[in-house]
Structure 1
Amino acid sequence: MNSENTLALMAKLLVVNSFLLLISACSESHSNETANNYVQTAQIEQVNRQPSYQIDRQYVGKISAKQQSNLSFEFAGRVLETLKDSGDKVKKGNILAVQDVELLNIKANEIRAQINQVDAQIELNKANYKRAKELHLSNYASEQVIDELTAEKSILTANKNGLKASYDALHYQISKATLRAPYDGVINQRLIAQGDLLSAATPAFTINNQNQQEVSLGIPAKVAKELAIDEELDVEINKKTYAAKIIAIGQQIDPATRTLGLRLKLTQPINAVSGLIARVSIKEHIPDSGFWLPLTAITDGVRGQWNIYTAVAQGNQFKILPETVKVLHTTKDSAYITGLTSNQISIITAGLHRYVPGQIVKAKGANE
């Protein structure tokens, strides 16, 4: 009886094991079939060939005043007083310094006295001429007396004119003994002091017109050809960006820097000191055809080359093919490449490390 029960139990266990093995085999077959049918997704985008590209370049220049003058006295003399100093803001006509004019005033008074003396002599000549004329009519005076008085009058008049010219010259020199600001601006440097004895044209002050500031710089000739008068460019000064218009493009290459001079006028006044560094942004046009791609679409290849993965359509799926390209220019998040013959290509734009050449993929977002 025990033997029969044991055999029955073993038969039941055998049936259960066979059933479990059958279920396991079916499940494994289904898993293999699912794995074999799985196709990985990829982010695929279509890009078109561009005829050219632009590079944003920055060139360093400096702020300069449109008007910058070296002021000096026209005549020699001793400095009586200086009224302005370095860094002072001045208005047109403000007095900067004064020369001692005491000696000039003495000379002017002396000449004035001589003019008065000549005036008295001219009055006497007129009276003598009148009497001589009356006597001549009565035959009591000769023609010679009349001629002498006429000549004397001409001599006195000439002397008076000469003295007046000397007097005017002294007054002009006295007026130029006061040095005034020729325009609104800022004194850069005071070069004289009270009591200095100056010769004519000795530099006394340097002054800038801060209301008319310009940016000057040098650029390559090929870049200058693409610019035009009145074109607006961005200028960075003290980490702030301002607009400026081109007012002049040089026509002579600097032999030292091999660049052409460029001058720009700021469209709004700024409180910047002369000589401050300014960075001018200029877009340089490069006539090379190619494609703009995101940086994530490029991977390193063999021997320092760069590769991209193109996606060739095969029905609803794509086959990955590698292409070697040349990178011409990069920005913060994109690159301009060349080396492809097609005018339109589909590429994988992200996650290139997850794919291999020849792999079949489907576009991300496509229906399963």
Structure 2
Amino acid sequence: MTTETPYDTPPSRRRPTLLKALIFIVLMAAITAGLLAAASLLRSKEGPKIATVEPQPLAVSVSPVEYLTELDIEELFTGIAEARRTSRLGFQTGGRIERIDVRVGDTVKAGQTIARLDTRGLGAQLASARAVVEEARAAHQLALDTAERQRQLQAQGHVSAQRVEEFVAQATTAMARVEAARAQADTLRVQIDLASITAPYDGVIVSRFADEGAIAGPGQAILELVEAGDLEARIGVSARIVPELVPGETYTLEAETGPVEAPLRSVTGVVDASQRTVAAVFDVPASSGVPAGSLVRLKMQRKLQEKGFWVPLKALSSANRGMWTVYAVVGEGDDWRAQPRLVEMVYPAGERAFVRGPVEAGDRIIVDGLQRVTPGARVLPREVQRAETANGG
């Protein structure tokens, strides 16, 4: 069996295949030429013939700039009204807690016993020390009596003076033992006294850290006491207003319970390194009803000598290096364009800010919808839009 190769194909059979290939090539060339011709018709010397239509101007709200040369501002400083004294109370020596007579919220008086340790062991030691004192006293008395008898015998010539001096020395030694025994007994009495906690001043129990039966370590906090009565408010103020504060004068503080008249006790005059403020201490009377730990605020009025103008916060967009951007509406022929201007914020107050920058008095600033505005964009101020509508434009 023989295999037929393409070269063995007769010419009469190869002609239809070549004809189809030629027809395909011709068709592809025609299609390519048509596409090129269509593309050339869509192009001109300036580029692609694409219709461009400038977007309609954005309607924006504007406000005219009014310059001020000075500004009355209100500064607010915050502090905390605290008790003058707060103490964490504990036992000087350790031991088992026998009783705690107060709970959180109880009012106590100065000198009142409010907790006590189990002192049975100390009591037994004190009884032993008292017995030692009595024994030493008896020995001392015996030594005194013996020394006296020796003096009588010396007077009769029966003993020497040295013998008498020896018994006098024994009496002195016995007296020293009496004093040592008394000191030991006094030490135990002091330990028994220190086994109880007494209130150092009138106040309120605000915390309790242990209960009866617990073993308390030396110095461990058992109760927290806050002094009752007048409070003091420490408010950090800026150094520039310190000269305006006069100790002894009464100022109005804003507390959660309302305004409070509080005399200024002192101003430290030292700038706190972390807060960069100076502490002013006010006396808050107990009659004000301000709870300890409440926030209090001091308002101070002052004049700021600075040329600038007010803008709403929503008229500002952030820029670099702490600057802000406002958009001024500038006329160009029959159009209005939004032009950015860099300004510096001098003083923020609520929903507006006092700023300064290269803006002229009377210029109109876009005050709303900045998210839709781009530099150089066509805009239509709302006042102009209303005027055109009224004129039938």
What band does the TM-score fall into relative to the shorter chain? 0.5 to 0.7
Residue 183 of structure 1: SS of its match in structure 2? Answer: coil
- Provide structure 1 residue ranges, at least 5 long, that are not aligned to the other structure: 1-49, 292-301, 306-326, 339-352, 354-368
- Quote the residue 1:241 is aligned against: 259
- 1:234 shift after superposition: 1.3
TM-score, normalising length from structure 2?
Answer: 0.59
- Quote the residue 1:77 is aligned against: 95
Alignment of 1:77-96 (within 5 A): 77-96=95-114
- Quote the residue 2:132 is aligned against: 114
Farther off after superposition, 127-136 or 271-280: 271-280
- 1:250 shift after superposition: 2.6
Following the alignment from structure 2 to structure 1, what is the Cα–Cα distance between the partners of residues 329 and 202?
61
Residue 160 of structure 1: SS of its match in structure 2? Answer: helix
- Quote the residue 1:155 is aligned against: 173
Following the alignment from structure 2 to structure 1, what is the Cα–Cα distance between the partners of residues 249 and 301?
12
Following the alignment from structure 1 to structure 2, what is the Cα–Cα distance between the partners of residues 270 and 204?
31
Alignment of 1:253-268 (within 5 A): 253-267=271-285
- The one-letter code sitting in structure 2 at the alignment partner of 1:221 is A
- 1:289 shift after superposition: 8.7
1:217 to 228, 235, 239: 235
Q: Structure 1 residues 74 and 328 mapped into 2: Cα distance closer, same or farther (>3 Å)?
A: closer
- The one-letter code sitting in structure 2 at the alignment partner of 1:242 is V
Aligned pairs, number: 262
2:142 to 114, 124, 131: 124
- Quote the residue 1:230 is aligned against: 248
Q: Is the 8 A contact 1:245 1:267 kept in 2?
A: no
Q: Is the 8 A contact 1:190 1:204 kept in 2?
A: yes
- The one-letter code sitting in structure 2 at the alignment partner of 1:198 is A
Following the alignment from structure 2 to structure 1, what is the Cα–Cα distance between the partners of residues 347 and 270?
30
Q: Give per-residue Cα distances to partners, 1:37-59, cap 9 Å, x unaligned.
A: xxxxxxxxxxxxx9965422222
- The one-letter code sitting in structure 2 at the alignment partner of 1:79 is I
- Quote the residue 1:135 is aligned against: 153
Following the alignment from structure 2 to structure 1, what is the Cα–Cα distance between the partners of residues 329 and 140?
105
Q: Is the 8 A contact 2:81 2:284 kept in 1?
A: no
Following the alignment from structure 2 to structure 1, what is the Cα–Cα distance between the partners of residues 328 and 288?
52
- The one-letter code sitting in structure 1 at the alignment partner of 2:234 is S
TM-score, normalising length from structure 1?
Answer: 0.63
- Quote the residue 1:45 is aligned against: none
- Quote the residue 1:194 is aligned against: 212
- 1:214 shift after superposition: 1.2
Q: Is the 8 A contact 2:90 2:222 kept in 1?
A: yes
Following the alignment from structure 1 to structure 2, what is the Cα–Cα distance between the partners of residues 51 and 230?
34
Q: Is the 8 A contact 1:233 1:282 kept in 2?
A: no
Q: Structure 1 residues 304 and 192 mapped into 2: Cα distance closer, same or farther (>3 Å)?
A: farther
Quick one: percent identity of the two aligned structures?
23
Q: Give per-residue Cα distances to partners, 1:318-338, cap 9 Å, x unaligned.
A: xxxxxxxxx988999xx9999
Following the alignment from structure 1 to structure 2, what is the Cα–Cα distance between the partners of residues 81 and 254?
44
Residue 92 of structure 2: SS of its match in structure 1? Answer: coil
- The one-letter code sitting in structure 2 at the alignment partner of 1:81 is R
Residue 252 of structure 1: SS of its match in structure 2? Answer: strand
Following the alignment from structure 1 to structure 2, what is the Cα–Cα distance between the partners of residues 329 and 111?
76
- Provide structure 2 residue ranges, at least 5 long, that are not aligned to the other structure: 1-67, 310-326, 331-344, 357-382, 384-393
Over aligned residue pairs, what C-alpha RMSD do you find?
A: 3.3
1:178 to 185, 196, 201: 196
- The one-letter code sitting in structure 1 at the alignment partner of 2:263 is K
Residue 79 of structure 2: SS of its match in structure 1? Answer: strand
- 1:185 shift after superposition: 0.8
Q: Structure 1 residues 71 and 128 mapped into 2: Cα distance closer, same or farther (>3 Å)?
A: same
- 1:103 shift after superposition: 1.1
- The one-letter code sitting in structure 2 at the alignment partner of 1:113 is A
Following the alignment from structure 2 to structure 1, what is the Cα–Cα distance between the partners of residues 101 and 92?
18
Q: Give per-residue Cα distances to partners, 1:224-267, cap 9 Å, x unaligned.
A: 23222123221112251111122122333222222222211124
